[in-house]
Structure 1
Amino acid sequence: MRSTRSIDGFDMQWHNKTNFTMIRLDSASAVIAGSYFLNIEQTFAQLELHKVGVSVQPVSN
């Protein structure tokens, strides 16, 4: 099962335990900032999901 959510313009896909959250970034600044930005954005996205009551528990296949 794969679900997609958009939070503040960032597309998030999560589907399994080992690769639980992938964030596709389309902005140039995100590319420049690199993994530091990805880590911050992933944390932010998980916090936002928690705030709106969406489960962020990984699902094992």
Structure 2
Amino acid sequence: MTNETINLYVDDLRDCPDGYIVARNIQEAIHYMEKFKVHILSLDHDLGEDYDGNLLPTGYDLVKIHL
């Protein structure tokens, strides 16, 4: 982990606001959280479905796993 601090925006569809780095899924979010210190974490609850129509892990799942 570096000492660099980021604001992380986890959302599968919406445009990323200025001042944030976007993660489109939980795997990307975990990557950033392991590499950087996160100052602000913005989470979308519904992160879409896989190819079979199963719901993908949500922002809430990320919190339960990694915080």
TM-score (norm 2): 0.27
Query: Of Structure 1 and Structure 2, which has the larger fraction of its residues in helix?
Result: 1
